[in-house]
């Protein structure tokens, strides 16, 4: 089934949302990604604002694919991995550029995963894919529902495989994603997106 859906869909952008326990999944998958990457990846993680540039460096070490923090007004290009900056919401504009927003925290979070999911869904629609990982927060679930509604591809980490099951479990309670993935399957999933 997994194969089918991945073969059928043409994806431009994958957004990965995660909170507590999600970084290890990303660090595990990064070295296994094929370069060049056919799509753009946008990573939105909840984190302490202080750990800022360290996180970009941490990800850079793990892959030869270019990894950078998303700059405001930057055009989203395939073949690149973008990281949402700490303490700003990351929004996607219709012209496929990023914009930043310093409004109130949502779900106790800034960046808020729902917000990036929502604005991206309205721009990319069927050509959007999203993956929601481990976390102790409900952020991202509503956005995932919208992505499903607008025809995008949805994937959720298997709660049993996640370090903190709350976030992926909450997603499964609310929707039936196209794919449920273990940590070990994430890289393969991403490599198949095209």
Partner 1 sequence: MQESLITDENVELLLADLLEVYGYDFTDYSRASLKRRINRLYSLDKFPSFAEFRYHLRSDATYLKRFVEQITVNVTEMFRDPGFYKALREEVLPNLGTYPFIRIWLAGCSTGEEAYSMAILLQEANLFHKSLLYATDINPSVLEKAGKGIFPLSQMKQYSENYILSGGKKDFSSYYSANYDLAKFDEVLKTKMIFSTHNLVSDHSFNEFQLILCRNVLIYFDKDLQAKVFKLFDESLDNLGFLALGSKETLQFSPIASKFKKSGSEKIWRKIS
Give the footprint of partner 1 on this chain (CB under 8 A). 71-73, 85, 88, 91-94, 99-104, 114-115, 118-119, 121-122, 142-143, 145-146, 149-150
Give yes or no: 139 in active site: yes
Q: How far is the CB of 58 from partner 1 (least distance, A)?
A: 20
Q: How far is the CB of 88 from partner 1 (least distance, A)?
A: 6
Looking at the Cβ atoms of 2 and 100, the one nearer to partner 1 is 100
Looking at the Cβ atoms of 87 and 188, the one nearer to partner 1 is 87
What stretch of H or E contains 6? helix 2-8
Radius of gyration of the chain (CA): 15
DSSP-derived secondary structure letter, 29: H
Helix (H) and strand (E) counts in the chain: 7, 9
List residues bridging with 128 in a β-sheet: 13
Looking at the Cβ atoms of 51 and 103, the one nearer to partner 1 is 103
Q: How far is the CB of 93 from partner 1 (least distance, A)?
A: 5
DSSP-derived secondary structure letter, 14: E
Give yes or no: 173 in active site: no
Instruction: Find the catalytic residue in 22, 46, 109, 114.
Output: 46
- 3-class DSSP assignment, residue 50: helix
Instruction: Find the catalytic residue in 114, 139, 161, 178.
Output: 139
**Cβ neighbours of residue 50 closer than 8 Å, sequence gap 6 or more:** 86
Looking at the Cβ atoms of 99 and 127, the one nearer to partner 1 is 99
Q: How far is the CB of 140 from partner 1 (least distance, A)?
A: 11
Report CA 57 to chain centroid distance, whole Å: 18
Q: Quick one: which of 43, 5, 47, 55 has its CA closest to 192? A: 5
Distances (CA, A) of 175 to 93, 133, 168, 189: 26, 15, 10, 20
Give yes or no: 114 in active site: no
Q: How far is the CB of 59 from partner 1 (least distance, A)?
A: 18
- 3-class DSSP assignment, residue 128: strand
Catalytic residue set: 19, 46, 139
């Amino acid at each position: 089934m997994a194969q089918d859906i991945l073969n059928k869909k043409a994806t431009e952008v994958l957004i990965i949302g995660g909170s507590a326990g999600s970084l290890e999944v990303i660090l595990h998958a990064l070295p296994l990604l094929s370069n060049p990457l056919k799509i753009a990846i946008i990573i939105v993680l909840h984190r302490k604002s202080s750990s800022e540039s360290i996180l970009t460096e941490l990800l850079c070490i793990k892959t030869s694919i270019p990894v950078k923090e998303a700059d405001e007004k930057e055009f989203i290009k395939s073949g690149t991995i973008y990281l949402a900056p700490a303490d700003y919401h990351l929004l996607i504009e219709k012209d496929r550029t990023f914009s930043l927003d310093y409004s109130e925290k949502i779900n106790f979070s800034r960046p808020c995963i729902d917000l990036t999911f929502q604005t991206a869904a309205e721009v990319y629609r069927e050509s959007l894919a999203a993956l929601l990982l481990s976390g102790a927060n409900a952020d991202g679930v509503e956005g995932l529902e919208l992505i499903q509604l607008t025809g995008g591809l949805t994937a959720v980490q298997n709660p049993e495989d996640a370090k903190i099951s709350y976030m992926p479990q909450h997603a499964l309670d609310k929707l039936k994603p196209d794919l449920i993935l273990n940590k070990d399957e994430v890289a393969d999933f991403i490599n198949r997106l095209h």
